[in-house]
Amino acid sequence: MTVLRWVRRAAWSAVTVLGFLMLATSAGWLVTDGPLADREVASGPASLPIGGPFSLTDHRRRAVTEADFRGRPMAVFFGFTHCPDVCPTTLGDMTALIEALGPDADRLHWLFVSVDWERDTPEALAGYLEAFDPRIVGLSGTEAQVAQAARSFRVYYRRVPTEGGGYTMDHSASVFLLDAAGRFAGTLDSKESREVALEKVRMLASR
């Protein structure tokens, strides 16, 4: 009979251990990846070296650096004003996000950095941005300043000559999200839905 008792004890111990393991794993999942996890904005690790020093002029002719935008998260897009298609689409998306966020939109900086240092003077930027939400700040600078800003954000851009002596610009198309301390917090992609983008900026604003 003692043998049976030992077997029973061993079986119950096994059940207890297994139960504990199951509880621990599911609890672990709950708080790391599950519904109780901290919600992350970033689609990439915050340690990615995107975002850094820049020195540019805004569309109101004010000289600014990255330090002027600290303390609030930011959404940054690189483009140029002689861009009839993608840049207005992105700035239109930004305007729609700002409107959807309502007063919370003021907790973020919304930046449009032109990589067209030659044509995009503060006046050109101001005129172009008239069609969009007034909270979007236009930035550009000298060739060297634009190069530095692009390096800080790991942005690719290139001037491409066109027939007739003009030129167009190739440029990275993402909107970069940075937290209030200037750390990379993800991107907005032109192909994702407005709901996804809104959720990302909403979480960024609440941080």
Partner 1 sequence: MRTLLRGLAAAALALATAIPAASAQPGDVAVSGAWTRAVGATAPTAAGYMTLRNRGASPDRLVGAETPAARSVEIHEQRMEEGVMRMRPLPGGITLPPGEAVTLGPGGMHLMLVGPTRALARGERVPLTLRFERAGEIRVELSVEAAGARQPAHAGH
| Residue 3 vs 160, nearer CB to partner 1 | 160
Is 170 one of the binding residues for partner 1 (CB under 8 A)? Answer: yes
Residue from 171, 175, 177, 180 that binds partner 1 (CB under 8 A)?
171
Q: From the CB of 164, what's the least distance to partner 1, in Å? A: 9
Q: From the CB of 51, what's the least distance to partner 1, in Å? A: 16
Secondary structure, 3-state, 99-136: HHHHHHHHHCEEEEEECCCCCCCHHHHHHHHCCCCCCE
Is 183 one of the binding residues for partner 1 (CB under 8 A)? Answer: no
Q: From the CB of 59, what's the least distance to partner 1, in Å? A: 12
Residue 162 CA from chain centroid, whole number: 32
Euclidean distance between CA atoms 207 and 205, whole angstroms: 6
DSSP 79-102: E-SS-SSHHHHHHHHHHHHHHHHG
Site residues for partner 1, 107-146, by CB under 8 A, read 119, 123-124, 127-128, 130-132
| Residue 120 vs 179, nearer CB to partner 1 | 120
Site residues for partner 1, 70-109, by CB under 8 A, read 81-86, 88-96
Q: Which residue(s) pair with 64 in the sheet? A: 56
Spatial contact of 81 and 115, defined as CB atoms under 8 Å apart: no
Site residues for partner 1, 18-77, by CB under 8 A, read none
Spatial contact of 160 and 116, defined as CB atoms under 8 Å apart: no
**Binding region for partner 1 (CB under 8 A):** 81-86, 88-96, 119, 123-124, 127-128, 130-132, 156, 160, 162-163, 168, 170-174, 190
